[in-house]
Amino acid sequence: MNRYYAKFTAFGSYTPPKVLNNYDLEKIVDTTDEWIRTRTGMFERHIAADNEAASDLAYAAAKRAMESSPVKYREIDLILVATVTGDYAFPSTACILQKRLGMKDIPAFDLSAGCTGFIYAVDVARQFIENGTYKNILVVGVEVLTKITNWKDRNTCVLFGDGAGAAIVSRARSADISHIIDTKIWSDGSQGEYLYQPAGGSRMPASRKTVEENLHTVYMEGNKIFKLAVRSMTSAIDEILKQNKLKPDDVDWFIPHQANLRIIEAIIDRLHVPKDRVIINIEKYGNMSSATIPVAVDEAIRAKKIRRGDVILMVAFGAGLTWGSVLARY
Ligand code: UT7
């Protein structure tokens, strides 16, 4: 038995003002607006400025979440940041964010689960709330993937954008309708080589050669990842619904990771989910990895699509490989 329930108190998001659209990309690599639109569903993506790092985006998103929440700064007990593009290898971006927010004497740490990062972080936050350790946790998904993009590789450079999304996860009161119903996370490290950043870690530290060969950028076998993403996200939805004795029809809003519109369409087709109950913003942002889901949820709340009491289901897949789902009554 859970001692307590966790709930989403508020969301906030931030994307940098600079926008790169498909026509801009046509000038950089051998691609076309038509190819990008039909193969991915993307048109624009936001790009961080040269002097903007993950913690800057995370700070802006966290501030917006805090402004939308009754929770005070001094009431935050833990900061969790999901990212693979932190400011530094160390210290953690969560600690840098803690300093910016002036939140003293609380723990803060990063979590690496690729595009599934936000789902993983919500799962971790939920455990701390349910077992009574903490009352309010700031969870951030932030990514600045364009800083590790190979702008000469048309297979990958058209796909990514930068952004941050934040959620306040709090202990629910018994009268609250809002609560996190369930979370599920999985990984399969045996297929991790399909999506990774070869250089810059201890396996292949930075050298003149790694820089010349662009090895500090995203390597992805798109086709393989595509199929695994469809299969894994479909089963992540299926399993969380089954375990909670719910059907796709019981869900008001599906919020899938936005890596490719065709992936989203394949999933909702398999589950017979109507498209008007799926939050899709890939056209405006591209793939922002761990930021896609909290940004999409925040936008949908502010657009008054997602309302208090709605059943929402978030699902993601990413590097690791990792995948997972979060089922909640908002
Ligand atoms: O965030 C979590 C993980 N990420 C994902 O889930 C992404 C999963 N993968 C995908 O979304 C898709 O595989 C991509 C969008 C990356 C690629 O789409 P695809 O339909 O799988 O294309 P493909 O890789 O099979 O390439 C088809 C053709 C190739 O040409 P040839 O060999 O058939 O002559 C590519 O060279 O399209 C070519 N191509 C391009 N053409 C124009 C690849 N990228 C581009 C491009 N513009 N940007």
What one-character-per-residue DSSP string does 90-157 give? SS-HHHHHHHHHT--SS-EEEE--GGGHHHHHHHHHHHHHHTTS-SEEEEEEEEEGGGG--TT-HHHH
Residues 96 and 74: their CA atoms lie apart, in Å, by 17
Distance in angstroms (rounded) separating the CA atoms of residues 5 and 171: 6
pLDDT in tens, 258-316: 999 999 999 999 999 999 999 999 999 999 999 999 999 999 999 999 999 999 999 99
**For the CA of 260, the nearest atom of ligand 1:** 11
- Pairwise CA distance, residues 307 & 168, whole Å: 16
d(C-alpha 190, C-alpha 203), whole Å: 17
Q: Using the atom order of ligand 1, give the atom closest to the CA of residue 289.
A: 1
Ligand 1 mean position to 155 CA, how many Å?
Answer: 5
DSSP 173: P
The candidate with the shortest Cα–Cα distance to 156, out of 218, 213, 230, is 218
Q: Model confidence over 218-257: pLDDT tens digits?
A: 999 999 999 999 999 999 999 999 999 999 999 999 999 9
Per-residue pLDDT tens digits for 8-31: 999 999 999 999 999 999 999 999
| pLDDT tens-digit readout, 162-182 | 999 999 999 999 889 999 999
Tell me the one-letter amino acid at 294: P
Phi first, then psi, for residue 204 (nearest 5°) are -145, 80
Q: How far is the CA of 248 from the centre of ligand 1 (A)?
A: 30
Confidence category of residue 3, pLDDT binned at 50, 70, 90:
confident
Residue nearest to atom 19 of ligand 1 (CA): 223
Preceding omega of 246 cis (within 30 degrees of 0)? no
2 catalytically annotated: no
> Is the pTM higher than 0.75?
yes
Question: From CA 287, how far away is CA 301, in angstroms rounded?
Answer: 20
- The per-residue pLDDT for range 187-218, each reduced to its tens digit, is 999 999 999 999 999 999 999 999 999 999 99
pLDDT of residue 203: 96
Count Cα atoms within 13 angstroms, Cβ side, for 175: 0
- What is 7-47 written as a DSSP string? EEEEEEEE--S-EEEHHHHHTTSS--HHHHHHHH---EEE-
Ligand 1 binding pocket, CB closer than 6 Å:
31, 35-36, 39-40, 115, 154-155, 158, 195, 222-223, 225-226, 229, 259-260, 263, 287, 317-318
The active-site residue out of 95, 157, 257, 260 is 257
Catalytic hit among 95, 115, 136, 260:
115
Q: Exposed e or buried b for every residue in 63-91, given b needs 16+ CB within 10 A?
A: bbbbebbebeeeebbbbbbbbbbbbeeee
State residue 167's pLDDT score.
98
Rounded CA separation 199/314 (Å): 31
Is the distance from CB of 94 to CB of 109 less than 8 angstroms? yes
Distances 145 to 85, 112, 196 between C-alpha atoms, Å: 6, 14, 12
Residue 61, pLDDT score = 98
Output the CA 18–ligand 1 centroid distance in Å. 25
Instruction: Look up tokens 């900061």; give the residue.
Output: 79
Find the 210 Cα to ligand 1 centroid distance in Å.
Answer: 24
Distance CA 313, CA 119 (A): 11
| Residue nearest ligand 1's atom 2 by CA | 318
The answer to whether residue 46 is catalytic is: no
Confidence of residue 158 (pLDDT cuts 50, 70, 90): very high
Residue 280, number of CB atoms within 10 A of its CB: 17
Q: Is 95 a catalytic residue?
A: no
Q: Which of 115, 226, 287 to mutate to test the pocket of ligand 1 (most atoms within 8 A of CB)?
A: 226
Q: What would the DSSP string read from start to end of 294-318? A: HHHHHHHHHTTSS-TT-EEEEEEEE
So what's the pLDDT on residue 1?
Answer: 59
Mean of the pLDDT values across residues 36-44? 97
Whose C-alpha lies nearest to ligand 1, atom 30? 155
Please write the tens of the pLDDT for every residue from 80-135: 999 999 999 999 999 999 999 999 999 999 999 999 999 999 999 999 999 999 99
